[in-house]
A = this chain, B = another copy of it.
């Protein structure tokens, strides 16, 4: 999958030291590893699918709108991803009996199974991604990163 090159040459020094630049490069590596992981072991599923399966497994059945709100995925993208998941019987969609427009989405046993497989793959990628750091550094990195990721703006 689209994995950036940056084959040759270093970036201009005014970029090299900047946090935003480094975060971009780290993200590039991260998403490269994830992309490769999904490609090799994901059977065509993408990160959206994983997120939705995880949400369903953790919070139980939900409407598509709820799913979108809680995962931060747009309604339209939720629809598309669920259609895909349903076609693989990893998920079931049924009409809400008390609200005919709404659909209740449920993860199937096969969906849970697939989710656990993906978990393993993704855990492996975490190790690979963090490999350049010692265990203590990894903990520290995640601590700092959490602060930054959750910041107000």
B residues less than 8 Å from A14 (CB atoms): 54, 58, 119
Interface size in chain A (residues, C-beta < 8 A): 61
Q: Which among A33, A59, A70 has the greatest number of chain B C-beta atoms within 10 A?
A: A70
B residues less than 8 Å from A25 (CB atoms): 149-150
Within 8 A of B (CB), among A86-128: 119, 122, 125-126, 128
B residues less than 8 Å from A22 (CB atoms): 142, 145-146, 149
Please pick, from B27, B72, B128, B149, the residue contacting A9 in the complex, using a CB distance under 8 A: B72
Given A133-B148, A141-B144, A147-B133, also A58-B13 (CB < 8 A): yes
A: residues with CB less than 8 A from B are: 4-15, 17-20, 22-27, 29-31, 33-34, 51, 54-55, 57-59, 69-72, 119, 122, 125-126, 128-133, 137-138, 140-142, 144-151, 153
- One complex includes copies of this chain to the number of 2
A105 to B131, CA, bound (A): 40
B residues less than 8 Å from A122 (CB atoms): 18, 20
A146 to B72, CA, bound (A): 29
- The distance from the CB of A52 to the nearest CB of chain B, in whole angstroms, is 9
